[in-house]
Amino acid sequence: MTMSMSTTTTRDTLPTYFISHGGGPWPWMKKEMGNAYAQLEAALADMPRQIGRTPEAILMVSAHWEAPAFTVMSNPKPPMIYDYGGFPEHTYHVHYDAPGSPALARRVQGLVEAAGLPAAFDPERGFDHGMFSPMAAMYPKAEVPVVQLSLRRGLDPAEHVALGRALAPLRDENVLIVGSGLSYHNLRNFGPQAREPSKAFDDWLTETVEAAPAQRIERLLAWSQAPAARIAHPREEHLIPLMVAAGAAGPDAGVRIYHEDAFMGGLAVSSYRFGAAAGEAA
């Protein structure tokens, strides 16, 4: 695949997203899980309609990859990484065969380095489930090239907001930026007992995303002071992709595009879009 990533095009600016990607290989477990993921699947499947066109590529920042520097996948045919345990045997043989994009990888590295942030390539890295599970709902034919970009160890919110700002030009180059995590991620506190803390944090998060841009960033940088913050995220790797999406959003408004208040027996969970959907006024 040939891609030109060196200049801004005249295409309309794409939105950015923070999505809750669900647990493990859920798209391949519908028989076992029934309708547990029906609402999330529908929300993910609606994203191409919101975008209004097929992106040239997707840059996915997954909660499941951390590295010493911001590291970009440069493999043209990324393998699968089955980074989960305790699931049925068939889920360790699933495939999501989207191509990679070395051209986009080079473009991303250049943008990150130009912002004074540390960048690196990984030519062997494969797709983790923070990518392939939501992508199976978003683009089931795996026709859109995808490049993953790591979080940086330390998980500094300001540094990841800065990363998003550095990546913002990609939005005008028909590259979709997606932060993939979970709005609530405490595996030791699921079910009905998590109802109140997950709602408290989710309410705060939605108010924050929908705030004016300057206030939005200020609140996100102080996320650990939010109600039930450390119950919702004992470790914040599943929240930090939101910082990237918000940083890349610039002045664009944020809106909640998916919400459940009883997910997995009691969790309040959400996903968000920054920027207008196709056909909407910016």
Question: Where do the domains of the chain lie?
Answer: 16-65+126-142+155-274
Tell me the pLDDT band of 190, cut-offs 50, 70 and 90.
confident
Single-letter residue type at 128: D
Task: Give the pLDDT confidence score for residue 19 in this predicted structure.
Answer: 97
Contact between 51 and 231 (Cβ < 8 Å) = no
Alpha helices, DSSP H, located in the chain: 30-33, 38-45, 47-51, 102-114, 129-138, 157-167, 195-209, 213-221, 229-232, 240-249
Q: How far apart are CA 57 and CA 155, in angstroms?
A: 25
Pairing of strands 119-122, 57-67: unpaired
Q: What tens digit of pLDDT does each residue of 87-98 get?
A: 999 999 999 999
| CA Rg value for the chain | 17
pLDDT surpassing 60 at residue 9? no
* Domain 16-65+126-142+155-274 classification at class level: alpha beta
pLDDT surpassing 90 at residue 62? yes
pTM score: 0.94
